[in-house]
Chain A
Amino acid sequence: KNEVEQSPQNLTAQEGEFITINCSYSVGISALHWLQQHPGGGIVSLFMLSSGKKKHGRLIATINIQEKHSSLHITASHPRDSAVYICAVRGGGSNYKLTFGKGTLLTVNP
């Protein structure tokens, strides 16, 4: 079983819809990252969070440490949001390694 599980694996939405992508992990962590990977492959770090909630524009990320769960929300989705969204967790202590989920492919249709 992968240490980081994302759901759904694939998600298709209509422009304007509210999107939620979920991430569950099974190990203790010091931080969780949400990353965006476009078809060309480049990766952009969207959020790094260790507690609570962060918001940037139309993107919102939340984390519940007790439940080992995080969600990424996109409000008023747009076709340009189409990408793979990846959840990655960093271990505790001096372990800086990231363990990645398999990603969620989001397609937003106009």
Chain B
Amino acid sequence: GAVVSQHPSRVICKSGTSVKIECRSLDFQATTMFWYRQFPKQSLMLMATSNEGSKATYEQGVEKDKFLINHASLTLSTLTVTSAHPEDSSFYICSFGKGSSTDTQYFGPGTRLTVL
């Protein structure tokens, strides 16, 4: 399967700062990107979907001005958490897909964000 990397794997920041998380597909060109968030002992929750060449579509309850997504290329997507607050502390996971409902998704290893 495809290899997806995320950077950083772990980040601790102060409240009010912004954090950028990178997601790269190392051997796969993806037309669709997904960003998920997972709180402790909870299911993964989809935050947003972005298709190459268009703006991200955010799920209900996810603030697009707070969670900035840039699908820079077919192999790179970034999620920036702006003005982070302690309640943003979570595990953030990206995945790539080819945009077909019959294709699998390839998940990154995740980034654990802790906001102090």
Q: For chain A, which range describes its interface: under 10, 10 to 19, 20 to 34, or 35 or more residues?
A: 20 to 34
The answer to whether A41 touches B91 (Cβ under 8 A) is yes
A91 to B101, CA, bound (A): 8
Q: Which residues in window 67-111 of B have CB below 8 A to A?
A: 91, 93, 97, 99-110
Give the A-B pair count, Cβ closer than 8 A.
Answer: 63
Residue of A nearest to B32 (CB): A96
Checking B93, B97, B107, B109 against A96 with a beta-carbon cut-off of 8 angstroms, the contacting residue is B97
> Please, how many angstroms separate the alpha-carbon atoms of A84 and B57 in the complex?
29
Pick from A45, A50, A91, A101: contact of B106, CB under 8 Å: A45
Closest to B109 in A: A42
- Chain A nearest CB from B3 CB (Å) reads 11
Enumerate chain A residues within 8 angstroms of B97, measured Cβ to Cβ.
96
Return B61 CB to nearest CB of chain A, in Å.
Answer: 14
Q: Report how many residues on chain B are interfacial, defined by Cβ distance under 8 Å.
A: 26
- Cα A92 to Cα B101 in complex, Å, equals 7
- Cβ-closest chain B residue relative to A42: B109
Q: Choose from A45, A86, A92, A103 the contact partner of B105 (Cβ within 8 Å).
A: A45
A interface, CB within 8 angstroms of B = 2, 30-31, 33, 35, 40-45, 48, 50, 86, 88, 90-98, 100-103
10 residue pairs from A and B, CB less than 8 Å apart: A30-B102, A40-B109, A41-B109, A43-B93, A43-B107, A43-B109, A91-B101, A96-B49, A98-B46, A100-B43
Interface residues of B (CB under 8 A from A): 1, 32, 34, 38, 42-46, 49, 91, 93, 97, 99-110, 112
